[in-house]
Amino acid sequence: MNNSDLPLAVTNPEAARHLALSTHYLFSQDFTRALHFTRLPVAAGDPAGAINRLTTLMLTRKFEAAAEFATVALGGPVHHTTRHGVIETVTPALYFLGAREGDCSDAYQLAYELAGDANLNPGMVRWQGQALQGKSLLLSLSRGGLGGYGDHIMWARFIPHVAALGARIVVQCPPLLERLFMTLPGVVSTCGYEESPACDFATSMMELPWVLGMRGIPLKNPFNVGAVQFPEETHNVGINWGASWAAPYMDRACALAEYLPLSQLPSVTLYGLQKGSHQKQLYPPPTGMKVHDLAPNLVDFLDTAVCLMSMDAVVTTDNVVGNLACMLGRPTFVLVPKCADWRWGEGGRAPWYPSARVYQQDEIGEWGAPIARLVHDLTRYLREQGRQLPKPVTMPESPVTFVRNTQPDVEAQPEEIQA
């Protein structure tokens, strides 16, 4: 029996009931019960039960347990679809563990396998280390794995390393990223995923570190992005409070009103980087807040990147803005939910993003405490490490008093000086 012949589901009705309960509790963010009700489906061989268990372990940041369970799950005969789902779910756990230990080799290997299974350009020669000098290489991001805006931006860090081999690179990416990706070394053009321009080789960005033999994480900003001139009299802080997307159990958005303490910081001007429905909270803004809305100027992510480069600091709840600000090396203060995305690390630091300071919810849905910690640290950062603000220009105090002649319709007389 080969992998494709193995059953995809079981017929045990009690296991099916437990699977439904685990899904319900997972979406209700009751992770203890969700984990409990995965036991019977997993024991019965239900692949959905294995995915639910892994997802719950990931959301509760039990990364070692997730990696251990995945090793067992992949150790025996398993349907290809189940194997793919397990790898897709557990690979982020290995990124987290690898970043902490300084060696992401295991994660890179699984990402290579995952991307290869979901090859978006099967008609082209897959790049597996062949000489690239003078050759063209089509890069994409596997739809079978990580595929959002933030993931594209995060994986872009590997492109300069393959560009150094002499490749002319074409990047498949969403339209809003095309101009930003044109600033990467070696990139000669971009295209959408519905296009497949003729190239000598094709591969996924997820495959690059494994093929290149990398173990660690490149941290240098790969984008060549300029800045625009903002007023220098105050510290300029870009803010984002919504999220482009979030799973039902990972709400990344907060209300703009939660940022009120930011507007009370001395010598700080707030600039809104928020797009989409959350932007409406600026019209009108919460009482006591003044935010300059930059959204009308943000046509795509290159515009966003230019504005981010112009900020003294960035505060965000959104993975996309967070990824971009951190990739640009900007001082970024990231608010994350209690079920935080794996890439934001632990203990307030993210190994993938040295410029990030991370503030995680203590309780689901409660932003007050992490925002208070953020405001405290941001105040200290701007005071101790921020840009030196120009001193306000003041007129020197005059040692004399001038008494003006107030007589109307008379030729002006010399002012009388009193001692």
pLDDT in tens, 237-280: 999 998 766 565 567 789 999 999 999 999 999 999 999 899 99
pLDDT at 411: 37
> What is the pTM assigned to this prediction?
0.85
Q: Rounded to whole angstroms, how far apart are CA atoms 158 and 211?
A: 11
* Residue 417 reports pLDDT greater than 60: no
* Residue 313 reports pLDDT greater than 90: yes
* Architecture in CATH of 3-101: Alpha Horseshoe (1.25)
10 Å Cβ neighbour count for 164?
Answer: 12
What residue segments make up the domains of the chain, in order of their start? Answer: 3-101, 136-211, 235-384
Q: pLDDT, tens digit, for every residue of 328-367?
A: 999 999 999 888 888 888 888 898 999 999 999 998 889 9
Q: Rounded to whole angstroms, how far apart are CA atoms 241 and 244?
A: 10
**Topology given in CATH for the domain delimited by 235-384:** Rossmann fold (3.40.50)
Q: Which residues pair with 357 in a beta bridge?
A: 333
* Residue 72 reports pLDDT greater than 90: no
Q: Rounded to whole angstroms, how far apart are CA atoms 321 and 235?
A: 19
Residue with the bigger pLDDT between 235 and 49: it is 235
pLDDT at 4: 57
Same fold, 3-101 and 235-384: no
Q: Rounded to whole angstroms, how far apart are CA atoms 49 and 405?
A: 92
pLDDT at 12: 79
Average pLDDT for 41-64: 89
Residue with the bigger pLDDT between 340 and 282: it is 282
